[in-house]
Amino acid sequence: MKKSGTGFDLPNKKTALKKLEKKVSRAGFWDNPNTAQSTVSQLSSLKSVIEPVEETLREVGDLAELLKLAVAESDEEMLGQLEDDVANLTKKCEQIEFQGLLCGPDDAKNCFFSIHAGAGGTESCDWASMLLRMYTRHFERNKYKFRELDIVPGEEAGIRSITLRVSGSFAFGKLSCETGVHRLVRISPFDSQKRRHTSFAAVDCIPEFEDDIDIKTNEEDLQIDFYRSSGPGGQHVNKVSSAVRITHKPTGIVVQCQNERSQHKNRVQAMRVLKARLYMLKQQKRDAEVAKLYSDKGQIAWGSQIRSYVMQPYQMVKDHRTNFQTSNVEAVLGGELDGFIQSYLRHRAKMKIKK
């Protein structure tokens, strides 16, 4: 099983695993706990792909031998059992095929996951909060850990933007499929005349790189502002300016962090996010739709959506990239996104093969 049509490459995955194992065995590996934990997470993700493949290859060999024996002895009972075994093995192969779609160099990494409200004012801020609920439900279903780094509440309801750090098996590879503009059509709960409204929000996902990422930033290119953390008020609002906002002047990229208690820790975390964004731009791995989010010309509005969630006049969630759709809007908003993610991974793999 060297390669399949979807890009599964066992030899390269095993090579990557050996490199990570050597890294873990080096003296002083745990001196930087955050970097070490990220490496261990990648190691675990690769093992979760490689070990089932090797086990399946052994099972294929065993079944082939049993089939020869059953045919030679005309053993009908054994042939019947082999049919069941082959059916079970086929299911395993389908799961392995899906894992094989996560073949990008950064797919096994943790990620920074952001949601930004777009055109539509309060409606879009509320839609952004609905997306946050949808994704946190999805994270919980997949046993992903997530932590809030920065949040900007909406003026009247919902959220203007939020950034989370998400960790888990192939977190970036899977969640990068959600990058783009999401469109909601519904009867507005904020409209006294109960008219139908359209709202937009954008999702962004970038991998979390280790501290040795090859990105250099000049101090003169950075505008660093300190401010008090935002929140609902009372004891949740910091009395000191510990939150950090960093603007990279050449690109206009802005990152914020207010989750940590100290100004220093917030700055370190914000710089990691900034370097990850700059790295992605340098590598030109961003698709055209998300690249718009980094420029002044990009709009989170009509004509740029990757997925539509229609609640009235009918119920439908449709991905415009793959045409995958379902009428069970409630289940999708409850975090059932696997069908959309799998269909896009297959679509992405086919596009790579065509290139």
Domains in the chain and their CATH numbers?
Answer: 10-100 (1.20.58.410), 111-354 (3.30.70.1660)
Q: What is the pTM of this model?
A: 0.70
Please, which pLDDT band fits residue 16 given cuts at 50, 70 and 90? confident
Report the SS3 class of residue 197.
strand
* Nearest residue to 205 (alpha-carbon basis) of 162, 169, 159: 162
Supply the pLDDT for residue 302: 57
Structure tokens at 131: 């997306």
Asked whether residue 154 carries a pLDDT value surpassing 60, the answer given is yes
* Mean pLDDT on 204-222: 81
CB atoms within 10 A of CB 278: 19
135 burial via Cβ count (<10 Å: 0-12, 13-18, 19+):
buried
What separation in angstroms does the CA of 77 have from each of 64, 69, 82?
16, 12, 9
Cis before 313? omega within 30? yes
Query: Which of 155-169, 190-204, 262-276 has maximum average pLDDT?
Result: 155-169
Residue environment code for 226-260, b if the CB has 16+ CB neighbours within 10 A, otherwise e:
eeebbeeeeeeeeeeebbbbbbbeeeebebbbbbb
pLDDT 10s digits, 266-285: 998 888 888 888 887 776 54
CB atoms within 10 A of CB 58: 10
pLDDT 10s digits, 94-108: 777 777 788 777 888
Spatial distance between the Cα atoms of 84 and 191, rounded to a whole number of angstroms: 57
Supply the pLDDT for residue 239: 52
Supply the pLDDT for residue 330: 96
Supply the pLDDT for residue 268: 87
Supply the pLDDT for residue 101: 83
Spatial distance between the Cα atoms of 8 and 10, rounded to a whole number of angstroms: 6
The secondary structure of 95-149 as a DSSP string is: HHHHHHT--STTTTS-EEEEEEE-TTTHHHHHHHHHHHHHHHHHHHHTT-EEEEE
Spatial distance between the Cα atoms of 210 and 207, rounded to a whole number of angstroms: 10
* Mean pLDDT on 150-170: 92
Sequence-distant (6+) residues with CB within 8 A of 189 are 126
* Nearest residue to 166 (alpha-carbon basis) of 213, 116, 204: 204
State what percent of residues in the chain have pLDDT above 90: 36
Asked whether residue 326 carries a pLDDT value surpassing 60, the answer given is yes
Spatial distance between the Cα atoms of 206 and 176, rounded to a whole number of angstroms: 7
Supply the pLDDT for residue 234: 44
